Chains A and B, each alone.
Chain A
Amino acid sequence: GQQLNQSPQSMFIQEGEDVSMNCTSSSIFNTWLWYKQDPGEGPVLLIALYKAGELTSNGRLTAQFGITRKDSFLNISASIPSDVGIYFCAGQLQTGANSKLTFGKGITLSVRP
């Protein structure tokens, strides 16, 4: 089946630093979504991408839909302690009513004050 790869599993950065995460697949996807899960909570949608090459920002977060349709990137600039959490990517191959979301395994981000 379709799989999304996120690595490394954990990232440790200093407050104020920028961080970049990527999500790759051996299959083409037509939609990419990025979610963040705070400790003890459910994932929250950060950014949705619908077109190859699309670059979308949400505050300090910027995500890009890879040109090959097989990857997506999330950048966080000037990190702060509340950026701590698990970042999941998700992709959809089909965009019809029966479309299925495939999730990556997530990257746990730690921010040192």
Chain B
Amino acid sequence: EADIYQTPRYLVIGTGKKITLECSQTMGHDKMYWYQQDPGMELHLIHYSYGVNSTEKGDLSSESTVSRIRTEHFPLTLESARPSHTSQYLCASSEYNGGRGRQAFFGQGTRLTVV
């Protein structure tokens, strides 16, 4: 059973507001990820981190930012939310599994709606 938690599950917020989506994992995984997904569509990697103080941009450009001050915590921030940011945001984590590479474990997601 994966132990990765995202809060809030649902968020409706007005344009221009600053928001932070929380993600925490209790598995001690080194690598963490943020994916953006429109309903029923593919997963787009927007940020990832190899460990504390490491953050990298993913394949899809995003106006969001991330930080990794603690191993277990990988919050995502939008400084000024816009309707185009409306989407589902999925957090994931993984650990290196020897010669088998990595398996990602996902949180339940945050469904963000910007009005």
Contact = CB atoms under 8 A, between A and B. Distances in A.
Interface of A: 1, 30-31, 33, 35, 40-45, 48, 50, 86, 88, 90, 92, 94-99, 101, 103-106, 108
A30 B107 contact: no
A40 B90 contact: no
Contacts of A97: 96
Interface of B: 2, 6, 40-43, 50, 59, 90, 92, 94, 96, 99-109, 111
Instruction: Specify the main secondary structure of chain B where it touches its partner.
Output: loop
A106 B41 CA distance: 7
Contacts of A40: 109, 111
B102 to A, nearest CB: 5
B101 A94 contact: yes
Nearest to B37: A37
Given A41-B109, A42-B107, A44-B106, A95 B101 contact: yes
A41 B108 contact: yes
A52 B40 CA distance: 30
A106 B9 CA distance: 22
Contacts of B103: 33, 45, 48
